Amino acid sequence: MKRLVSCEYNFDNCCVELKFTDGSIIAIDTIAVENEVADNMYQRSELDWLIYNKPLEYAQLIFSGELEMYIKDNSEHRLID
């Protein structure tokens, strides 16, 4: 693999796709990741937000192995006061 050219969410196949200068592509199946990592609707919502708004950060969390830790720390349900 060479340098990263683009990282975006593909609505057609529900994958975050990373494209590189040598023509290679890595596709992350977001549905499979959600099914493995998310325990409730709040965690799924947090993952959806990341996928749509920050796909590169989502991919970085997956490749670093920190997605589960991120999801457990950032998606706690809180009632509005």
Domain ranges of the chain: 4-74
Rounded to 5°, angle at Cα 43 from 37 and 48: 95
pLDDT in tens, 24-70: 999 999 999 999 999 899 999 999 999 999 999 999 999 999 999 99
Asked if residue 74 has pLDDT above 90, the reply is no
Determine phi and psi for 36, rounding to 5 degrees: -85, -35
Bigger pLDDT: 77 or 10? 10
Long-range contacts of 32-36 (CB under 8 A, 24+ apart): 33/62, 33/67
Per-residue pLDDT, 81: 52
pTM: 0.84
